[in-house]
């Protein structure tokens, strides 16, 4: 293989060795926004068969796309970022990837090692930045390039997290004595769950009856996991919840109608108040999203918690074992389908959620960001055809559009829909351009209410039901109103407007039939 690409007198560069090592580990996509210190890697991309480079106009598009890609492909993509500032720009979506347990491997070019001591303008503390989102692997000499690259990739897959590989420019350029041996690697199975944890869960759920709660997260939200959860519920009477912001949840197609644990702590505490046991299956202990005076951080009484399986374990298998143990084969019926709203109805969170759920194509991937339509859609979509939902697990906004892009690259055969609030969408609207360039089949639905609505709610919770003029302006996206149709066209994405359910359904149908991306501005 190497002979085809390097003539006898041309040894591979460090950059080439790095990309070959990544390709050898099955990595096939690189979401890139490179600069001067990554030029040898850019050149080497053209000599790495099977490695597809995808340009983002901002690093947070690249990192968010890598997160979305990992959620669907179940393996890491590379990002290619320029020095400390490039990594800094991508940190918010790396934070989200960390919270979503998505394997992502950043490749960050650094100054030539001999140039670093001179504190040139773009020098900064890359290690400190990388440490905030995961582990940091520095390539320090020419013989380490392949080994450290493999270690960073394996580390991301084992920890289900973010690895950052820092590669000085001189080491990208250096030629090695020998091309590295390819080292095969077997997939590492997730560690299983102790039988005792399963048996205790069974005993406690049986004893609790309708006061039992099963909280699903991670792989517990696969189809297999949820069907097992439905059987457990049918056998014991336990109530089922998903974690509030699942990285990836299978939905619809006859799955039990599992809603998310409510967002606000008072509602979540209420939901768990009478619980005798809360069994955690791939979900962490539920805690409040924010601390509110007078409300607890911990949402469930400590004595009720039982850890069946952590996110790093084989959660599906634990749920199946538990379902076998509690002994019922019957599946609960799926959710009742919702009636589609009238075509003349105005667009609200409820009508958009119901309309989209009823028009969803089979096996669609829906990237949901923002509360306006996100919550109502999730509830409605229990009754839809089989599909996959991704939410913003880490809470750093600007994740929905890049994640939709990454999902479309991971699964080109599946339609992708981004159900996106306007405020968060504006963080990474540049993702639209990459969708256009890659002809990604993404339909972007913008909930254009022209406010940071969640903040209006929060102001009210802080007693500011009538915000002052500055508070009102700081939570408004009006004056002037953003025109998403113009923005989309500016980025090369066809776009249209909808103000009623009928217009939305017509535009959605057209967009799904066409190839490539389309944006629909939903005026709410």
Determine, following the binding rule CB under 8 A, whether residue 504 of this chain makes contact with a second copy: no
Residues 221-240 that bind a second copy (CB under 8 A): none
Contacts of 409 (CB under 8 A, 6+ apart): 29, 52, 54, 65, 69, 77, 438, 440
State the nearest-atom distance from the C-beta of 293 to a second copy, in Å: 7
Determine, following the binding rule CB under 8 A, whether residue 512 of this chain makes contact with a second copy: no
Which DSSP state fits 118? G
Interface pick for a second copy out of 5, 26, 43, 324 (rule CB under 8 A): 43
Q: Which is nearer to a second copy, 23 or 122 (CB)?
A: 122
Residues 245-274 that bind a second copy (CB under 8 A): 245
- Taking alpha carbons only, the member of 4, 48, 13, 29 closest to residue 180 is 13
Determine, following the binding rule CB under 8 A, whether residue 114 of this chain makes contact with a second copy: yes
Q: Which is nearer to a second copy, 1 or 120 (CB)?
A: 120
Encoded tokens for 192: 């299983």
Burial class (CB in 10 A: 0-12, 13-18, 19+), 38: buried
Determine, following the binding rule CB under 8 A, whether residue 129 of this chain makes contact with a second copy: yes
Encoded tokens for 176: 């090695």
State the nearest-atom distance from the C-beta of 39 to a second copy, in Å: 5
C-alpha dist (Å) from residue 465 to 195, 289, 452, 461, 472:
52, 22, 15, 8, 11
Q: Which is nearer to a second copy, 378 or 427 (CB)?
A: 427
Task: Look at strands 364-369 and 416-421 and give their pairing.
Answer: parallel
The 8 Å CB, 24+ separation contacts for 327-330 are 327/235, 328/231, 328/234, 328/235, 329/231, 330/231, 330/234
Residue 81: enclosing H or E segment and its boundaries? Answer: strand 78-82
Number of residues interacting with a second copy: please give it, by CB under 8 A. Answer: 101
Q: Which is nearer to a second copy, 287 or 333 (CB)?
A: 287
Residues 416-455 that bind a second copy (CB under 8 A): 423, 426-427, 429-430, 433, 436-437, 454-455
Determine, following the binding rule CB under 8 A, whether residue 523 of this chain makes contact with a second copy: no
State the nearest-atom distance from the C-beta of 59 to a second copy, in Å: 9
Question: Between 464 and 503, how does the x/- string for binding to a second copy read (CB under 8 A)?
Answer: x--xxxxx-xxxxx-xxxxxxxxxxxxxx-----------
Determine, following the binding rule CB under 8 A, whether residue 310 of this chain makes contact with a second copy: no
Interface pick for a second copy out of 50, 121, 189, 344 (rule CB under 8 A): 121
Interface pick for a second copy out of 1, 10, 49, 120 (rule CB under 8 A): 120
Binding segment for a second copy among 37-45, 65-73, 334-342, 408-416 (CB under 8 A)? 37-45
Burial class (CB in 10 A: 0-12, 13-18, 19+), 72: buried
Residue 167: enclosing H or E segment and its boundaries? Answer: strand 162-168
State the nearest-atom distance from the C-beta of 113 to a second copy, in Å: 8
Encoded tokens for 458: 């929060």
State the nearest-atom distance from the C-beta of 51 to a second copy, in Å: 8
Binding segment for a second copy among 139-147, 189-197, 218-226, 390-398 (CB under 8 A)? 390-398
Neighbours of 73 (CB within 10 A): 19
DSSP SS3 for 283: coil
Q: Which is nearer to a second copy, 147 or 288 (CB)?
A: 288
Q: What residues does 32 pair with on adjacent strands?
A: 55, 80
Determine, following the binding rule CB under 8 A, whether residue 35 of this chain makes contact with a second copy: yes
């Amino acid at each position: 293989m190497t002979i085809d690409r390097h003539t006898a007198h041309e040894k591979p560069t460090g950059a080439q060795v790095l990309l070959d090592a990544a390709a050898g580990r099955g990595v096939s996509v690189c979401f890139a926004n490179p600069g001067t210190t990554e030029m040898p890697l850019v050149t080497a991309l053209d000599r790495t068969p099977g490695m597809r480079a995808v340009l983002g106009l901002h690093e947070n598009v690249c990192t968010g796309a890598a997160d979305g890609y990992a959620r669907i492909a179940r393996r890491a993509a590379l990002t290619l970022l320029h020095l400390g500032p490039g990594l800094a720009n991508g940190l918010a979506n790396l934070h989200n990837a960390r919270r979503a347990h998505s394997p992502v491997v950043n490749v960050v070019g650094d100054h030539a090692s001999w140039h670093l001591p001179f504190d040139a303008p773009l020098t900064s503390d890359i290690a400190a930045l990388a440490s905030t989102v995961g582990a940091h692997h520095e390539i320090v000499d020419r013989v380490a390039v392949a080994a450290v690259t493999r270690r960073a990739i394996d580390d991301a897959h084992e920890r289900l997290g973010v690895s950052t590989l820092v590669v000085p420019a001189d080491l990208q350029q250096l030629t090695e004595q020998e091309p590295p041996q390819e080292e095969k690697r077997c997939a590492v199975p997730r560690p299983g769950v102790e039988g005792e944890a399963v048996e205790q869960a069974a005993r406690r759920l049986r004893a609790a009856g309708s006061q039992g709660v099963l909280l699903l997260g991670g792989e517990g939200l696969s189809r297999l996991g949820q069907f097992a959860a439905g059987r457990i519920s049918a056998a014991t009477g336990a109530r089922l919840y998903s974690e509030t912001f699942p990285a990836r949840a299978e939905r619809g197609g006859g799955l039990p109608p599992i809603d998310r644990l409510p967002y606000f702590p008072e509602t979540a505490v209420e939901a768990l108040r009478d619980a005798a046991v809360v069994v955690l299956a791939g979900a962490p202990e539920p805690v409040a999203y924010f601390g509110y005076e007078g409300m607890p951080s911990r949402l469930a009484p400590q004595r009720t918690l039982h850890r069946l399986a952590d996110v790093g374990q084989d959660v599906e298998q634990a749920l199946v074992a538990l379902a076998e143990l509690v002994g019922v084969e019957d599946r609960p019926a799926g959710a009742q389908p919702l009636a589609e709203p009238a075509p003349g109805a105005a667009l609200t969170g409820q009508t958009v959620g119901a309309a989209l759920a009823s028009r969803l194509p089979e096996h669609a991937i829906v990237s949901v960001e923002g509360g306006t339509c996100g919550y109502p859609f999730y509830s409605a979509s229990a009754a839809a055809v089989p599909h996959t939902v991704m939410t913003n697990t880490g809470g750093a906004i600007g994740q929905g559009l890049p994640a939709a892009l990454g999902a479309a690259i991971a699964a080109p055969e599946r339609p992708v829909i981004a159900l996106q609030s306007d405020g968060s969408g504006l963080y990474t609207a540049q993702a639209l351009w990459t969708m256009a360039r890659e002809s990604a089949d993404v339909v972007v639905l913008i909930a254009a209410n022209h406010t940071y609505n969640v903040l209006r709610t929060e102001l009210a919770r802080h007693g500011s039901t009538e915000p002052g003029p500055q508070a009102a302006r700081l939570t408004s996206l009006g004056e002037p109103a953003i025109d998403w149709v113009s923005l989309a066209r500016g980025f090369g994405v066809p776009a249209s407007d909808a103000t009623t359910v009928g217009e939305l359904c017509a535009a959605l149908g057209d967009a799904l039939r066409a190839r490539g991306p389309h944006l629909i501005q939903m005026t709410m």
